[in-house]
C-alpha cells in the first residue's frame, strides 16, 4: 500500500490513500475491502466518499458495492481534520548499524514506539529522527524517513530513508516483496513440522477491532504468507526463525497463534499466560519470572536485506536479540537441561 496526505487549495485537508489489490485477494465488496484496511474508518464513511465520487478503481469512480478483484488499483480521498499535534525533536539515543547520504539502518530497541499517536506523543523513533536530521522525506505525512515499521515491543533492524529517491525505491522493494526479512521468535509449544509456511488472509478481528485474525477463506483481510523454521526446542517453548513474504500488521504474531503457537509473553494474542508445561507452583513462578525479562512479545527482527537505492548493491544487516531476550532464552535453556 502507498499512502500520502495531500492538501487542496482551500483550508480543508484531504486524506488520500492508494492500494494495489493483492493477487490472492478474493472478490469482495469494495467498502468491506477498505474497512479492513483503514483504522478508525467506518464503512458508512467510505460509502459516503464513494457517493461523492472520491472512490476510484483504475482511475474510474465506483460505488460502494463495486467488487474488487486482483490487480485493481484502488484510491480513496475524503476530507479529514488537520493534524492537531506537532512533531517534536527529542535527543534520544539511536543504535546505528549503518549510515550514508541516502539511508540509515538502526537496531530499534524493544519498547520504543515507531511514530507518535494516541497515548504516545513523545519518546518515539520519529522524535529521535527529528533530532538527528533537519529534514527527511515523508514529513508532510508525519512519517519522516519511515519505509516500514516494527511493533512497539518488537526489537531489531529497520531502514530509514534520508532522501525522496531512497524513500520511493526502498518502499517499492517492500511493496514488491523483494526485500528480505527474518525474525527470531520464542513461541509456546513445539511445531509438529520443523519447517513450514502459514498462508492465510489477515484482517481486523470482528470481535475485537484492536486485534487481527486469520481468515482462511480469503473473504476478509489481506493475503499473508509467513515461512517458519524450528531453531531450538526448550521444553515447553521453541525458538523459530520466521521469514516474511508479506508484511501485514502483527503478521507473525497472528499467524503463529493461528498455528497454535502464540508468541511467548504476547499480551494481545494470549501468549502472556502459562499455555504449556507443568501443573506446579514452582513452574508457574518460573514462567512469571521469565515474563519479566521482556516488555512484550518475544520477537526480534534479526535480519533485513535490500538493494541500495543509489548503488544497486545488495545489502544485508543483522543484530543480536536485546539483553532481555537473551536472558529469557538462557533461562529456558537451563530449564530444558534440568528436566
Active site residues: 151
Alpha carbons 257 and 251: distance in angstroms, whole number: 10
Cα atoms in the Cβ-side hemisphere of radius 13 Å centred on 334: 9
Provide the CB-side half-sphere exposure for 67 (13 A, CA). Answer: 5
Residues 6+ apart with CB under 8 A from 161: 102, 103, 136, 137, 138, 145, 146, 147, 167, 170, 171, 309
From residue 105, alpha-carbon distances to 99, 135, 301, 331 in Å are 6, 17, 12, 30
For residue 149 the three cell numbers come to 515499521
Residue with cell 499517536: 117
Residue keyed to cell 522525506:
137
- How does DSSP assign 221-245, residue by residue? SB--EEEEEEEEEETTEEEEEEEES
Beta strand residue intervals within the chain, DSSP E: 2-7, 13-20, 28-29, 55-57, 60-61, 67-68, 73-80, 96-99, 103-108, 155-161, 180-188, 195-199, 201-205, 208-215, 225-234, 237-244, 299-307, 314-318
Q: What are phi and psi of 114, to 5 degrees?
A: -75, -50
Q: What angle do CA 132, 138, 144 make, to 5 degrees?
A: 30
Largest CA distance in the chain: 70
Amino acid at each position: 500500500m502507498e499512502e500520502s496526505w495531500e492538501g487542496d487549495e482551500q483550508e480543508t485537508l484531504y486524506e488520500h490513500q492508494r492500494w494495489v489489490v493483492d493477487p490472492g485477494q478474493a472478490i469482495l465488496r469494495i467498502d468491506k475491502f477498505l474497512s479492513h484496511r483503514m483504522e478508525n474508518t467506518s464503512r458508512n464513511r467510505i460509502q459516503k466518499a464513494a457517493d461523492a465520487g472520491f472512490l476510484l478503481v483504475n482511475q474510474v469512480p465506483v460505488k460502494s458495492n463495486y467488487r474488487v478483484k486482483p490487480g485493481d488499483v484502488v484510491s480513496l480521498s475524503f476530507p479529514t481534520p488537520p493534524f492537531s499535534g506537532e512533531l517534536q525533536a527529542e535527543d534520544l539515543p539511536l543504535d546505528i548499524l549503518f549510515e550514508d547520504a541516502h539511508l540509515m539502518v538502526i537496531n530499534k530497541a524493544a519498547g520504543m514506539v515507531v511514530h507518535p499517536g494516541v497515548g504516545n506523543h513523545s519518546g518515539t523513533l520519529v522524535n529521535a529522527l527529528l533530532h538527528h536530521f533537519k529534514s527527511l522525506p515523508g514529513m508532510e505525512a508525519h512519517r519522516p524517513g519511515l519505509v516500514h515499521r516494527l511493533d512497539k515491543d518488537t526489537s531489531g533492524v529497520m531502514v530509514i530513508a534520508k532522501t525522496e529517491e531512497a524513500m520511493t525505491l526502498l518502499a517499492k522493494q517492500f511493496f514488491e516483496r523483494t526485500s528480505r526479512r527474518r525474525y527470531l521468535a520464542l513461541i509456546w509449544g513445539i511445531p509438529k513440522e520443523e519447517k513450514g509456511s502459514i498462508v492465510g488472509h489477515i484482517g481486523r478481528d470482528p470481535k475485537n477491532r484492536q486485534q487481527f485474525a486469520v481468515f482462511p477463506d480469503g473473504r476478509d483481510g489481506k493475503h499473508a504468507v509467513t515461512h517458519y523454521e524450528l531453531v531450538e526446542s526448550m521444553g515447553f517453548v521453541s525458538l523459530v526463525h520466521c521469514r516474511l513474504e508479506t508484511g501485514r500488521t502483527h503478521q507473525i504474531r497472528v499467524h503463529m497463534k493461528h498455528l497454535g503457537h502464540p508468541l511467548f509473553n504476547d499480551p494481545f494474542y494470549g501468549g502472556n499466560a502459562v499455555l504449556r508445561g507443568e501443573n506446579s507452583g514452582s513452574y508457574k513462578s518460573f514462567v512469571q519470572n521469565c515474563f519479566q525479562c521482556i516488555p512484550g512479545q518475544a520477537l526480534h527482527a534479526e535480519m533485513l536485506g535490500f538493494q541500495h537505492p543509489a548503488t544497486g548493491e545488495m545489502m544485508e544487516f543483522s543484530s543480536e536479540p536485546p539483553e532481555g531476550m537473551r536472558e529469557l532464552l538462557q533461562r529456558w535453556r537451563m530449564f530444558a537441561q534440568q528436566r
